[in-house]
Amino acid sequence: MSCDLPLTPTLSPQAGRGSEQNPSPRASGEREGAAQREGEGQRPFVVAIDGPAASGKGTLARRLAERFGLAHLDTGALYRATALLVLDAAGDPANPVAAETAARRVDPRLLADPRLRADAVASAASMVAAIPEVRRALLGLQRDFATHPPASARGAILDGRDIGAVVCPGADVKLFITASTETRAARRVKELREHGAPAIYENVLQDLNERDARDSGRRAAPLTVAHDAHIIDTTTLDADVVFERACALVARALEEKEWQQ
Protein backbone atom coordinates (compact mmCIF):
# COMPACT_ATOMS: atom_id res chain seq x y z
CA MET A 1 0.00 0.00 0.00
CA SER A 2 1.44 3.35 -0.87
CA CYS A 3 0.56 6.36 1.20
CA ASP A 4 0.42 10.06 0.86
CA LEU A 5 -0.65 11.11 4.30
CA PRO A 6 -2.26 14.52 4.56
CA LEU A 7 -1.89 16.64 7.65
CA THR A 8 -3.90 15.36 10.57
CA PRO A 9 -3.65 16.18 14.25
CA THR A 10 -1.71 12.96 14.75
CA LEU A 11 1.00 14.16 12.41
CA SER A 12 3.42 16.76 13.57
CA PRO A 13 2.78 20.13 11.90
CA GLN A 14 6.26 21.26 12.91
CA ALA A 15 7.58 18.68 10.54
CA GLY A 16 6.18 20.64 7.65
CA ARG A 17 3.41 18.24 6.77
CA GLY A 18 1.43 21.21 5.54
CA SER A 19 -1.38 23.25 6.95
CA GLU A 20 -5.05 23.77 6.36
CA GLN A 21 -4.09 25.97 3.46
CA ASN A 22 -1.80 23.28 2.12
CA PRO A 23 -3.50 20.04 3.06
CA SER A 24 -1.45 17.87 0.76
CA PRO A 25 2.04 18.49 2.06
CA ARG A 26 3.78 16.09 -0.23
CA ALA A 27 2.62 17.96 -3.29
CA SER A 28 4.92 19.92 -5.60
CA GLY A 29 8.10 21.28 -3.96
CA GLU A 30 8.10 18.74 -1.17
CA ARG A 31 7.88 15.87 -3.61
CA GLU A 32 10.82 17.33 -5.52
CA GLY A 33 12.78 17.73 -2.28
CA ALA A 34 12.05 14.17 -1.26
CA ALA A 35 13.04 12.93 -4.72
CA GLN A 36 16.29 14.84 -4.40
CA ARG A 37 17.02 13.23 -1.02
CA GLU A 38 16.35 9.82 -2.55
CA GLY A 39 18.49 10.67 -5.56
CA GLU A 40 21.35 11.46 -3.23
CA GLY A 41 20.89 8.08 -1.58
CA GLN A 42 20.17 9.49 1.87
CA ARG A 43 18.07 7.32 4.12
CA PRO A 44 15.81 9.49 6.29
CA PHE A 45 16.54 9.69 10.01
CA VAL A 46 14.04 7.47 11.84
CA VAL A 47 13.12 7.30 15.51
CA ALA A 48 11.09 4.30 16.72
CA ILE A 49 9.19 4.53 20.01
CA ASP A 50 7.41 1.54 21.48
CA GLY A 51 5.69 0.88 24.76
CA PRO A 52 2.50 -0.31 26.41
CA ALA A 53 -0.76 1.63 26.48
CA ALA A 54 -0.69 4.91 28.42
CA SER A 55 3.08 4.82 28.87
CA GLY A 56 3.41 8.40 27.62
CA LYS A 57 5.10 7.39 24.37
CA GLY A 58 2.68 9.40 22.23
CA THR A 59 3.26 12.65 24.09
CA LEU A 60 6.99 12.01 24.05
CA ALA A 61 6.92 11.31 20.30
CA ARG A 62 5.06 14.57 19.63
CA ARG A 63 7.53 16.58 21.72
CA LEU A 64 10.53 14.96 20.04
CA ALA A 65 8.98 15.59 16.61
CA GLU A 66 8.65 19.26 17.48
CA ARG A 67 12.13 19.56 18.96
CA PHE A 68 13.93 17.83 16.08
CA GLY A 69 11.68 18.68 13.11
CA LEU A 70 10.51 15.13 12.50
CA ALA A 71 7.24 14.00 10.90
CA HIS A 72 5.23 12.02 13.47
CA LEU A 73 2.97 9.02 12.93
CA ASP A 74 0.91 7.64 15.80
CA THR A 75 0.58 4.08 14.50
CA GLY A 76 -1.97 3.18 17.18
CA ALA A 77 -4.36 5.51 15.33
CA LEU A 78 -4.20 3.20 12.29
CA TYR A 79 -5.39 0.25 14.39
CA ARG A 80 -7.98 2.46 16.08
CA ALA A 81 -9.24 3.61 12.66
CA THR A 82 -9.50 -0.01 11.55
CA ALA A 83 -11.48 -0.83 14.69
CA LEU A 84 -13.75 2.17 14.22
CA LEU A 85 -14.59 1.12 10.66
CA VAL A 86 -15.48 -2.38 11.88
CA LEU A 87 -17.62 -1.05 14.75
CA ASP A 88 -19.34 1.48 12.47
CA ALA A 89 -20.34 -1.41 10.19
CA ALA A 90 -21.65 -3.30 13.25
CA GLY A 91 -18.96 -5.92 12.64
CA ASP A 92 -16.96 -8.06 15.05
CA PRO A 93 -13.41 -6.73 15.63
CA ALA A 94 -12.21 -10.30 16.20
CA ASN A 95 -13.42 -11.40 12.75
CA PRO A 96 -10.36 -11.55 10.45
CA VAL A 97 -12.29 -10.89 7.23
CA ALA A 98 -14.16 -7.86 8.60
CA ALA A 99 -10.98 -6.49 10.19
CA GLU A 100 -8.77 -6.94 7.14
CA THR A 101 -11.41 -5.34 4.89
CA ALA A 102 -11.51 -2.37 7.27
CA ALA A 103 -7.70 -2.11 7.46
CA ARG A 104 -7.53 -1.87 3.67
CA ARG A 105 -10.04 0.97 3.80
CA VAL A 106 -8.15 3.05 6.38
CA ASP A 107 -7.90 6.54 5.00
CA PRO A 108 -5.38 8.84 6.66
CA ARG A 109 -8.14 11.46 7.03
CA LEU A 110 -9.78 9.11 9.54
CA LEU A 111 -6.82 9.58 11.87
CA ALA A 112 -8.24 12.95 12.92
CA ASP A 113 -11.59 11.49 14.01
CA PRO A 114 -12.07 12.23 17.75
CA ARG A 115 -14.05 8.97 18.11
CA LEU A 116 -10.73 7.11 17.81
CA ARG A 117 -9.99 8.07 21.41
CA ALA A 118 -13.01 6.24 22.88
CA ASP A 119 -12.27 3.34 25.24
CA ALA A 120 -14.44 0.96 23.20
CA VAL A 121 -12.40 1.78 20.10
CA ALA A 122 -9.10 1.29 21.98
CA SER A 123 -10.26 -2.08 23.15
CA ALA A 124 -11.45 -3.12 19.67
CA ALA A 125 -8.14 -1.81 18.26
CA SER A 126 -6.21 -4.30 20.35
CA MET A 127 -8.45 -7.06 18.94
CA VAL A 128 -7.98 -6.14 15.27
CA ALA A 129 -4.26 -5.66 15.96
CA ALA A 130 -3.94 -9.34 16.87
CA ILE A 131 -4.98 -10.36 13.35
CA PRO A 132 -1.92 -10.94 11.09
CA GLU A 133 -3.78 -9.85 7.91
CA VAL A 134 -4.56 -6.50 9.53
CA ARG A 135 -0.94 -5.96 10.52
CA ARG A 136 0.19 -6.83 7.00
CA ALA A 137 -2.38 -4.44 5.48
CA LEU A 138 -1.10 -1.55 7.62
CA LEU A 139 2.62 -2.30 7.35
CA GLY A 140 3.26 -0.69 3.95
CA LEU A 141 1.65 2.55 5.01
CA GLN A 142 3.84 2.79 8.11
CA ARG A 143 7.04 1.91 6.26
CA ASP A 144 6.24 4.37 3.50
CA PHE A 145 5.82 7.10 6.10
CA ALA A 146 9.21 6.25 7.61
CA THR A 147 11.06 6.08 4.32
CA HIS A 148 9.36 9.04 2.63
CA PRO A 149 8.83 11.78 5.20
CA PRO A 150 8.20 15.20 3.65
CA ALA A 151 11.35 16.91 2.45
CA SER A 152 10.86 19.71 4.99
CA ALA A 153 11.13 17.17 7.82
CA ARG A 154 14.49 15.93 8.97
CA GLY A 155 13.08 12.42 9.20
CA ALA A 156 10.26 10.49 10.83
CA ILE A 157 9.23 9.38 14.27
CA LEU A 158 6.74 6.55 14.69
CA ASP A 159 5.26 5.33 17.95
CA GLY A 160 3.50 2.03 18.57
CA ARG A 161 4.13 -1.50 19.79
CA ASP A 162 6.30 -3.11 17.10
CA ILE A 163 8.07 -0.19 15.45
CA GLY A 164 11.62 -1.03 16.51
CA ALA A 165 11.25 -4.77 16.01
CA VAL A 166 9.08 -5.04 12.89
CA VAL A 167 8.12 -1.80 11.14
CA CYS A 168 11.48 -0.02 11.24
CA PRO A 169 14.13 -2.50 12.41
CA GLY A 170 16.82 -0.23 10.97
CA ALA A 171 15.68 2.87 12.90
CA ASP A 172 18.47 5.20 14.00
CA VAL A 173 17.16 5.40 17.56
CA LYS A 174 14.84 2.99 19.33
CA LEU A 175 13.18 3.88 22.59
CA PHE A 176 11.02 1.64 24.72
CA ILE A 177 8.92 3.67 27.15
CA THR A 178 7.30 1.86 30.02
CA ALA A 179 5.87 2.36 33.53
CA SER A 180 4.10 0.21 36.08
CA THR A 181 0.47 -0.57 35.23
CA GLU A 182 -0.71 1.30 38.34
CA THR A 183 1.21 4.41 37.34
CA ARG A 184 -0.10 4.27 33.79
CA ALA A 185 -3.66 3.82 35.06
CA ALA A 186 -3.33 6.77 37.45
CA ARG A 187 -1.96 8.98 34.67
CA ARG A 188 -4.76 7.94 32.31
CA VAL A 189 -7.41 8.71 34.98
CA LYS A 190 -5.88 12.16 35.55
CA GLU A 191 -5.82 12.86 31.81
CA LEU A 192 -9.45 11.74 31.34
CA ARG A 193 -10.65 13.84 34.26
CA GLU A 194 -8.74 16.87 32.96
CA HIS A 195 -10.75 16.47 29.76
CA GLY A 196 -13.96 16.37 31.78
CA ALA A 197 -14.55 12.64 31.26
CA PRO A 198 -15.64 10.56 34.26
CA ALA A 199 -12.99 7.94 35.04
CA ILE A 200 -12.88 5.23 37.68
CA TYR A 201 -9.37 4.07 38.55
CA GLU A 202 -10.30 0.37 38.93
CA ASN A 203 -11.99 0.27 35.52
CA VAL A 204 -9.07 2.00 33.80
CA LEU A 205 -6.62 -0.38 35.49
CA GLN A 206 -8.62 -3.41 34.40
CA ASP A 207 -8.84 -2.10 30.83
CA LEU A 208 -5.06 -1.52 30.72
CA ASN A 209 -4.37 -5.00 32.09
CA GLU A 210 -6.59 -6.55 29.44
CA ARG A 211 -5.01 -4.54 26.63
CA ASP A 212 -1.48 -5.30 27.91
CA ALA A 213 -2.30 -9.01 27.97
CA ARG A 214 -3.66 -8.93 24.41
CA ASP A 215 -0.80 -6.76 23.08
CA SER A 216 1.92 -8.87 24.71
CA GLY A 217 0.34 -12.29 24.32
CA ARG A 218 -0.69 -12.21 20.66
CA ARG A 219 1.27 -14.25 18.14
CA ALA A 220 1.48 -11.54 15.48
CA ALA A 221 4.06 -8.87 16.34
CA PRO A 222 3.50 -8.77 20.10
CA LEU A 223 4.67 -5.78 22.11
CA THR A 224 8.44 -6.31 22.04
CA VAL A 225 11.50 -4.56 23.35
CA ALA A 226 13.85 -4.45 20.35
CA HIS A 227 17.26 -5.81 21.33
CA ASP A 228 18.90 -2.46 20.58
CA ALA A 229 16.25 -0.25 22.21
CA HIS A 230 16.94 2.18 25.04
CA ILE A 231 14.49 1.32 27.80
CA ILE A 232 13.14 4.23 29.84
CA ASP A 233 11.01 3.27 32.82
CA THR A 234 9.01 6.38 33.64
CA THR A 235 7.32 5.06 36.80
CA THR A 236 9.21 7.46 39.03
CA LEU A 237 10.24 9.99 36.42
CA ASP A 238 8.79 13.36 35.58
CA ALA A 239 7.74 13.80 31.91
CA ASP A 240 10.32 16.56 31.42
CA VAL A 241 13.13 14.34 32.68
CA VAL A 242 12.04 11.61 30.28
CA PHE A 243 11.94 14.14 27.45
CA GLU A 244 15.45 15.42 28.18
CA ARG A 245 16.82 11.86 28.34
CA ALA A 246 15.19 10.99 25.04
CA CYS A 247 16.42 14.26 23.50
CA ALA A 248 20.00 13.40 24.44
CA LEU A 249 19.70 9.99 22.74
CA VAL A 250 18.12 11.42 19.59
CA ALA A 251 20.61 14.30 19.40
CA ARG A 252 23.54 11.87 19.66
CA ALA A 253 22.14 9.62 16.93
CA LEU A 254 21.47 12.62 14.67
CA GLU A 255 25.02 13.83 15.16
CA GLU A 256 26.39 10.39 14.32
CA LYS A 257 24.24 10.18 11.21
CA GLU A 258 25.22 13.65 10.00
CA TRP A 259 28.86 12.84 10.66
CA GLN A 260 28.62 9.67 8.54
CA GLN A 261 27.11 11.50 5.56
Which residues make up the interface to ligand C5P (CB under 6 A)? 53, 75-76, 79-80, 122, 125-126, 129, 160-163, 211, 215
Q: Residue 251 and residue 253: Cα distance in Å, rounded? A: 6
**Nearest CA to 72 among 172, 176, 167, 142?**
142
Nearest residue (CB) to ligand C5P, 87 versus 122? 122
Nearest residue (CB) to ligand C5P, 75 versus 101? 75
Given its phi and psi angles, is residue 97 left (phi above 0), alpha (psi -120 to 50 degrees) or beta?
alpha
Provide, rounded to whole angstroms, the least separation between the CB of residue 168 and ligand C5P.
10
Nearest residue (CB) to ligand C5P, 75 versus 183? 75
Q: Residue 244 and residue 30: Cα distance in Å, rounded? A: 30
Provide, rounded to whole angstroms, the least separation between the CB of residue 228 and ligand C5P.
18
Provide, rounded to whole angstroms, the least separation between the CB of residue 42 and ligand C5P.
25
137 CB neighbour count, 10 Å cutoff = 21
Provide, rounded to whole angstroms, the least separation between the CB of residue 186 and ligand C5P.
17
Nearest residue (CB) to ligand C5P, 82 versus 152? 82
Residue type, 17: R
Nearest residue (CB) to ligand C5P, 27 versus 220? 220
Q: Residue 146 and residue 138: Cα distance in Å, rounded? A: 13
Provide, rounded to whole angstroms, the least separation between the CB of residue 134 and ligand C5P.
9
**Helices and strands counted in the chain (H then E):** 9, 5
